[in-house]
Amino acid sequence: MSKVAKVKEAVKETLVGSEEPVQLSTQTKARFIGHAVKDPETGELFLGPEEFINAVAPPEEDYVSQLVRIPSFARIGD
């Protein structure tokens, strides 16, 4: 492959993207399958808004106590 062809391909991949399949971890795939619902028309699994929220931020997690540990930057410069 010539240098021009290599550059052309690199620019194309940068602008358009490549067709390489996405590599998901076993944990990510399991979390998706565990929360996904099947589309009745296509049979494909997908996450609706509620399923996505539950997959990313499960209701049993305690997010409030985690926020307490985040420092407040509102007083910087006072």
Res. 13: pLDDT tops 60 = yes
Task: Give the pTM.
Answer: 0.49
Mean pLDDT on 6-31: 80
Q: What is the pLDDT of residues 40-70, one digit of tens each?
A: 999 999 999 989 988 888 778 776 666 666 5
Query: For the chain, what is the mean pLDDT?
Result: 80
Are 1 and 10 in contact by the 8 Å Cβ rule? The answer is no
Long-range contacts of 28-35, Cβ-Cβ distance < 8 Å, separation of 24 or more: 31/55
